Amino acid sequence: IAPNMAKQIVAFQAGLQRMAASFPGAFEGYALRVTESHQKSKADTSGTAKAISSSLADLAGVSDTWSDDAIERIREESVQLSG
């Protein structure tokens, strides 16, 4: 089961997981930065962001050092609207 049930997100996550399994380290040398944005009342980091960043970390060859704590969480509406 995916953290997000929207079929487009499920397909995107499945594709990333397959890429990460087939081509680990393919994005080695690139900096990994993940930002997720939700309503102000959401207290935790989204499961979708965690799942996507896990696959990206495998692709970047940093899964041994990547932490979900590195995901930037945006909750302020003014920041979300600015861009």
| Active site (catalytic) residues | 38, 42
Q: Distance (Å, rounded) from C-alpha 37 to C-alpha 9? A: 15
Contact yes or no for 78/45 (Cβ under 8 A)? no
Give SS3 for 45.
coil
Q: What amino acid is encoded at 76 in this protein? A: E
